[in-house]
Amino acid sequence: MQRRTYGATDSGGALLVSGRYHRAPDHFPRSEVWAALYLALSPEVSLGEVFRHFTPQLLPQLNEYRLSELDVELDAVLDCRDAAAFGLSPEDLIRDYHFAMTQEIAAATIAQGAEAILVASATGLGDNMVVFPAQIHGTSRLSIVGSRDPRLYLPR
């Protein structure tokens, strides 16, 4: 789910503010910045990821979002959903506002040539795929299958 100002495969918003698996110029020098495209593996995860960041004042902005379905064909995806494989607890990977560890995991996977990683959603509703657009190989692709503009807020 993305703001309608961004296309479904546009990671431009990730270059505004740092997040769980990407770094932006708000806290990092340009040499340490990379974009990420966060894709939910199910619609409910997508909705949950958006809803968990909304305050009552922001609710009217819900109608500015688009729910898109993508066809994703990537050659190099690492599964990072098992925190124990990294010697971590699941909570280490879903902490709110403490992204140093998850950004290091992303940096390491990028250094290994990964195009994307599979991660647990902090919503507890399922999983996400985090795509690193600068890493996409020539044979890989992301294509939009379809989009919907849901009405999620009724002004009163």
- 62-109 tens-digit pLDDT: 999 999 999 999 999 999 999 999 899 999 999 888 899 999 999 999
The residues with which 34 forms a beta bridge, in sequence order, are 23
Token look-up 């503009």 returns 149
Q: What is the pTM of this model?
A: 0.93
Per-residue pLDDT tens for 22-37?
A: 999 999 999 999 999 9
Tell me what percent of the residues of the chain surpass a pLDDT of 90: 86
Judge whether 21 and 100 are in contact, CB under 8 Å: no
Contact 37, 68 (CB under 8 A): no
User: Which of 6, 8, 38, 44 minimizes the C-alpha distance to 146?
Assistant: 8
Cross-sheet strand order for the sheet of 116-120: 37-40, 127-131, 116-120, 77-79
CA distance 156 to 153: 9
Instruction: Report the mean per-residue pLDDT for the chain.
Output: 94
Q: Are 144 and 69 in contact (CB under 8 A)?
A: yes
Task: Name the β-bridge partners of 148.
Answer: 67
What's the full length of the chain, in residues? 156
Domain boundaries, the chain: 2-148
The two three-digit tokens of residue 44, written as one number: 């409910």
Q: Tokens 């009405």, residue? A: 151
